[in-house]
Amino acid sequence: MIRKLLLLLVFGLFSIGVMGQAIPIRVVMAAEPNNEVALRFKTAIENNIELSERFSLWTGAPFDLPKNGILIEMHSIQLDLKNGDRTGAAVLIEALQPSPTERGYFKNRYLEMWSIGKDDSVSETALNFLVSMRRELAKHP
């Protein structure tokens, strides 16, 4: 009987998210296929999500995200000089949450924009974005 009550309590805590259930995140990117900076940045975001205890990488369709999920949408353009030399990329990244009532609609929860040099490391920027996003989500659950 006690074992059954304990199992019910643990299941109940998991179902309401008290046990630290990971937030599913889907990452999508709109960028030219040869935009190496944007591709490195997307990979860094996904790697940090996989290493996180707070987030989990969602591989399903964006419209099938659970209600507590986050869609990270990245938009990037390459930055070139007049002579054609590539200097890096401008990246707009936003965290969107699915509407609880309208499938396919998302609410903007957090937004950042950067200019990243072609030889700059993107791993710290990716980690800082996830930390800032997590803080913002905690402020307004």
| Tens of pLDDT, residues 50-100 | 998 899 999 999 889 998 999 999 999 999 999 988 899 999 999 999 998
- Residue 54 covered by a domain: yes
32-38's contacts with Cβ under 8 Å and 24+ in sequence apart are 32/77, 32/78, 34/78, 35/76, 35/77, 35/78, 35/89, 36/118, 37/76, 37/78, 37/88, 37/89, 37/91, 37/116, 37/117, 37/118, 37/120, 37/122, 38/74, 38/76, 38/89, 38/91
- Residue 10 covered by a domain: no
Whole-structure pTM value? 0.79
Domain count within the chain: 1
- Residue 6 covered by a domain: no
- Residue 106 covered by a domain: yes
On whether the CB atoms of residues 49 and 25 are closer than 8 A, the answer is: yes
- Residue 25 covered by a domain: yes
- Residue 15 covered by a domain: no
- Residue 98 covered by a domain: yes
Q: How confident is the model at residue 20 (pLDDT cuts 50, 70, 90)?
A: low
Mean per-residue pLDDT, 31-43: 92
- Residue 58 covered by a domain: yes
Task: Look up the domain containing 96 and give its range.
Answer: 21-139
* pLDDT above 60 (res 3): no
Q: What local confidence, expressed as pLDDT, does residue 21 receive?
A: 80
